[in-house]
């Protein structure tokens, strides 16, 4: 099966907001006046697996389609492609704006066609303590979902801080384990990037749930298994619509535009 052809066979069109994962990051960096470090176009090898060399033959992987809803819209579909080398995230048909996560180098690339730019996020440890004290309480109950994998049933996990509901996930252990591993890696890299903005962010703008779930315990809910559905108390939700295994991606979808300007956000207050 060819991913590119499969997408073109379907006529639905959605507006993309998959880059919500970067919104808090860019906002906090702006608050702290973090400098931007630019790199000349084409200064790095296009990173597609094997530590940075473009491949002619694409490695088969898993395609996952999620329905994702923000508080201010009716929702849209997002496509994930995952194999041992990379994870690519893009809107249903808008394939030219995308996130490419190089699993070999643990580097995230956020590609924006309109601006001809690539935001690079490299791995770094979370080496600070939370400026807000918190204690997560975890509640678990068997989900009404009929899903099961390797004899395991889906469970609904609720994460609370005090009386506040931070996050919910319906998780299935033993399902799509390589995808789960990729999601953990991706969220860990994002957590390191978010962490460097904390020192330059006013305390009154910090949120205990966001700190816990996105920086200091970013993989906690994924440790429970594949998230079939997830949502927060602010109106965001995402749920799995379809999965296709052993899909061969179009090779051109796995490379970065060599002429785009690359940059990093280098600010931080700790």
CATH number at residue 119: 2.50.20.10
Q: Higher confidence at residue 266 or residue 24?
A: 266
- Give the highest mean pLDDT range of 55-69, 90-104, 132-146, 173-187: 173-187
pLDDT tens, position by position, 223-256: 999 999 999 989 999 999 999 999 998 888 889 9
In a domain, 225, yes or no: yes
* Better pLDDT: 71 or 48: 71
Q: Number of folded domains in the chain?
A: 1
140's tokens = 């678990």
21 belongs to a structural domain: yes
Q: Is residue 47 part of a domain?
A: yes
pLDDT at 72: 85
| pLDDT over 90 percentage in the chain | 64
pLDDT, position 19: 40
Mean pLDDT score, 172-189: 97
Average pLDDT for 145-162: 87
Predicted pLDDT of residue 150: 76
Residue range 96-125: mean pLDDT, rounded? 97
Question: 15-29, 66-80, 94-108: which has the minimum mean pLDDT?
Answer: 15-29
Question: Which residue's entry shows tokens 């108390």?
Answer: 233
pLDDT number for residue 236: 94
pLDDT band at 114 (very low <50, low <70, confident <90, very high): very high
Mean pLDDT score, 117-139: 96
CA distance 213 to 263: 26
Give pTM, 2 decimals: 0.81
Instruction: Inform me whether the pLDDT recorded for 22 exceeds 50.
Output: no
Q: pLDDT at position 52, please?
A: 38
So what's the pLDDT on residue 74? 84
pLDDT at 38: 54
Residue 237 located in a structural domain: yes
Structural domain span for residue 41? 3-265
Residue 270 lies in a domain: no
Report, as an integer, the average pLDDT of 98-113.
97
Residue 97 included in any domain: yes
Asked whether residue 167 is domain-assigned, the answer is: yes
Q: What is the rounded average pLDDT of the residues 26-51?
A: 40
| 157 contacts 140 by C-beta, under 8 angstroms | yes
Using only C-alpha atoms, the chain has a radius of gyration, in whole angstroms, of: 19
């Amino acid at each position: 099966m060819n991913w590119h052809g499969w997408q073109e066979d379907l006529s639905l069109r959605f507006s993309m907001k998959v880059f919500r994962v970067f919104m808090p990051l860019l906002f906090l960096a702006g608050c702290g006046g973090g400098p931007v470090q630019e790199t000349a176009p084409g200064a790095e090898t296009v990173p597609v697996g094997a530590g940075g060399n473009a491949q002619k033959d694409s490695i088969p992987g898993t395609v996952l389609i999620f329905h994702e809803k923000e508080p201010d819209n009716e929702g849209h579909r997002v496509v994930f492609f995952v194999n041992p080398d990379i994870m690519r995230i893009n809107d249903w048909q808008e394939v030219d704006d995308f996130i490419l996560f190089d699993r070999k180098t643990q580097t995230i690339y956020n590609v924006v066609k309109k601006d001809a730019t690539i935001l690079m996020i490299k791995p770094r440890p979370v080496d600070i303590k939370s400026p807000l004290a918190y204690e997560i309480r975890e509640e678990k109950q068997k989900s009404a979902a009929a899903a099961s994998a390797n004899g395991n049933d889906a469970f609904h996990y609720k994460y609370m801080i005090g009386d506040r509901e931070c996050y919910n996930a319906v998780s299935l252990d033993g399902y799509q384990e390589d995808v789960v591993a990729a999601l953990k890696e991706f969220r860990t890299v994002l957590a390191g990037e978010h962490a460097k903005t904390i020192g330059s962010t006013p305390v009154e703008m910090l949120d205990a749930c966001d700190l816990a779930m996105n920086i200091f315990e970013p993989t906690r809910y994924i440790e429970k298994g594949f998230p079939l559905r997830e949502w927060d108390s602010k109106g965001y939700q995402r749920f799995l619509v379809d999965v296709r295994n052993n899909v061969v991606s179009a090779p051109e979808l796995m490379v970065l535009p060599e002429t785009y300007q690359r940059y990093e956000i280098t600010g931080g207050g700790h």
